Amino acid sequence: MTCGIYDTILPDTFSQIRYHMNSVISALVAALKTLFHPKMLALVIWPMLVAMALWVGAAMFFWGSWVESMTGIVQASPLEQWMSQGFFAVVSHYLIAVILVLLLLPAIYVTALMLTAVFAMPMMVNHVAGKYYPELERKQGGSNAGSVANALFTIVVYCTGWIISLPLWLFSPLALLLPLALMAYLNQRLFRYDALAEHASREEFALVIERCTVKLYLLGAAVGVLQFVPVLNLFSPVYVALAFIHLCLAELKELRRTL
């Protein structure tokens, strides 16, 4: 009897996983093809350059206070005893600077993602929809204000989770999984609204999110890996956005076909 249950459940589970992954892979491949269009290539560099300029400028003005604040945090934590001994006592000041630089890198990347979502998405959605989904009616379920509100909410939740989970990154086997899980949340929440805002009604938006939540998180995790790949992470925000546009519009098209 038990074997019969497993014989039924396992094939269904693997079938669902394969179905979700096929959609994610299709979106990734379509996004890669779209990325090399001249209009899209023109968008690749500026979000990252603007984000770098903002954070490097902030570092120039506030570096001293950041070092002081980070030193205070370290002194109030168990790391103080560890860093006050031997070799670490000599290089502790440099380690704090390294930690700050490591904190700046994800901050720059997340800022580039937000700039892409808020300012570049309308052009990308128009391009992808016009070329791949010209038959989709635009029901204008979203707005510019909704886009900004969604981006701000998503960044606040991501940063809160990032700060709360930071100690676990240092002292836990979850050190690799937690950043990826947070990035998966950030990607899917940040881009799904703008990908559907022009074409889906509010009711359709809710249905698409309900139907493809697993796909959105899988895609968010897949493209989240790019954050940790040097050089590629400089150019990935536009690619990430294109992947979510392809996935969401394909899901919207399928939803309307089945209703």
Average pLDDT (184-210) is 94
Average pLDDT (9-31) is 77
Residue 238 lies in a domain: yes
Q: Is the predicted pLDDT of residue 234 greater than 70, yes or no?
A: yes
**C-alpha span between 99 and 104 (Å, rounded):** 9
Residue 73 lies in a domain: no
Residue 9 lies in a domain: no
Give the pLDDT confidence score for residue 99 in this predicted structure: 73
Q: Are the CB atoms for 123 and 194 separated by under 8 Å?
A: no
Host domain of residue 215? 22-52+109-258
Give the pLDDT confidence score for residue 39 in this predicted structure: 86
Residue 212 lies in a domain: yes
Q: Is the predicted pLDDT of residue 30 greater than 90, yes or no?
A: yes
Tokens of 101: 């630089």
Mapping DSSP onto H, E and C, the string for 174-185 reads HHCHHHHHHHHH
Residue 101 lies in a domain: no
Confidence of residue 125 (pLDDT cuts 50, 70, 90): very high
Residue 180 lies in a domain: yes
Which has more pLDDT, 76 or 130? Answer: 130
Residue 85 lies in a domain: no
> Could you give the number of structural domains in the chain?
1
Residue 233 lies in a domain: yes
